[in-house]
Amino acid sequence: MTIHNAPAKINLMLQITHKEESGFHYLQSLITFYGKGDQVEVAANNAFSLTVKGEFGKDLPIEGNLVLKAAEWLGGLYPDQSKASVILSKNLPLSSGIGGGSSDAAATIAALLDLWGIDLNYSEKINLIKASAILGADIPVCLAYHLLGQNFFWIDGTGKEGKPEALWEEDFKEIYLLLVNPGIAVSTPSIFKAYDKIYDKPIMSPTSSDQLLSFLKRTKNSLTSAARELVPEISEVLRALNQTPSCLLARMSGSGATCFGLYDNPDNCMAAGKAIKESHPKWWVMT
């Protein structure tokens, strides 16, 4: 049996430069992974199967689930290995802009590699990361988190290229994220359909972690306006985060509706989360 965490994927910024002829939007995004999230447990079995539990498990369908697709895909690459049962503890809200399904699938791949005792070299890891794009545009960066052991990645493309760039190998001053969701699922295709098509000029990724905060303050999430129109509660969440003491930045992640507040002090982050939970008890809050 092997257990892996599947952390929330946070788009610290997301800008859209153009739309490819394929229909995919070309994104530039700085991504980090939040320490808490879902959990995947795998064990050898005579067939691939999935059991879902957890706070948001009851709303997650088994048939066609990305976790099963990922397990079966990896099983096809390693046909001599055992099949496996997968237990997914779903602690992140569904369709919430924090890559829950993709992170779950990537954690399943990493857990199966451990279960099977497969030790990939660096080149093999990169090849597997690229190949995983067949499962979805967010899978490669989520898998890179597990296989490369780094926490910040730069995406410059559609995601389907499978080439996330790992950033900042030097020591990094820890930041603290407060995640807040108003309890509303958001359809990513609907957000892109409502997107105003005002494209952003390409930018360079920050070259040092010291530039992170100033870089984020110069950038944005290009999908925020469209998401606010479809889900007005997002504006309320951002307002609540901005009103907390010592909030350095408040922004929507991905296509929403989850937003994050950025803090440089764990006590301030915890206090902000407590205050928002008390004032909005129906919201989902994670510090």
Mark whether 138 is an active-site residue. Answer: yes
pLDDT at 172: 63
For the chain, how many structural domains are there in total?
Answer: 2
Mark whether 264 is an active-site residue. Answer: no
Q: Same structural domain for residues 57 and 162? A: yes
Considering the candidates 9, 38, 104, 156, report the single residue annotated as catalytic. 9
Per the structure block, which two tokens stand in for 234? 């997002």
171 within some domain: no
218 within some domain: yes
pLDDT at 224: 97
CATH number at residue 116: 3.30.230.10
pLDDT at 207: 84
Q: Same structural domain for residues 124 and 186? A: no
Considering the candidates 38, 90, 104, 138, report the single residue annotated as catalytic. 138
What are the phi and psi torsion angles at 120 (to 5°)?
Answer: -85, 145
Q: Same structural domain for residues 135 and 275? A: no
Whole-model pTM over 0.85:
yes
- Single out the residue in 112, 135, 166 at which a domain terminates: 166
What are the phi and psi torsion angles at 86 (to 5°)?
Answer: -120, 130
> Which range marks the domain in which residue 7 is found?
2-166
| Terminal Cα-to-Cα distance of the chain (whole angstroms) | 29
**Residue 95, Ramachandran bin (φ over 0: left; ψ between -120 and 50: alpha; else beta):** left
pLDDT at 170: 59
CATH number at residue 191: 3.30.70.890
Q: Which residues share a beta bridge with 3?
A: 41
Q: Same structural domain for residues 138 and 218? A: no
Helix count and strand count (H, E) for the chain: 9, 10
Place of tokens 């090849």: 127
pLDDT at 225: 95
Q: Same structural domain for residues 154 and 235? A: no
Beta strand residue intervals within the chain, DSSP E: 2-19, 25-45, 49-53, 83-89, 152-157, 165-166, 176-181, 249-252, 259-263, 284-286
pLDDT at 209: 83
Q: Same structural domain for residues 155 and 223? A: no
64-68 own/partner pairs: CB under 8 Å, 24+ apart? 65/101, 66/101, 66/102, 66/104, 66/105, 66/135, 66/136, 67/40, 67/101, 67/104, 67/105, 67/108
Q: Same structural domain for residues 127 and 150? A: yes
Q: Same structural domain for residues 109 and 185? A: no
Q: Same structural domain for residues 154 and 182? A: no
230-236 own/partner pairs: CB under 8 Å, 24+ apart? 230/186, 230/190, 230/191, 230/194, 231/182, 231/184, 231/186, 231/256, 231/257, 233/182, 233/184, 233/257, 234/182, 234/259, 236/182
Q: Same structural domain for residues 74 and 138? A: yes
pLDDT in tens, the chain (287 residues): 999 999 999 999 999 999 887 778 899 999 999 878 999 999 999 999 999 999 999 989 898 999 999 999 999 999 999 999 999 999 999 999 999 999 999 999 999 999 999 999 999 999 999 999 999 999 999 999 999 999 999 999 988 888 899 997 655 667 899 999 999 999 999 999 899 888 999 999 988 888 899 999 999 999 999 999 999 999 999 999 999 999 999 999 999 999 999 998 999 999 999 999 999 999 999 99
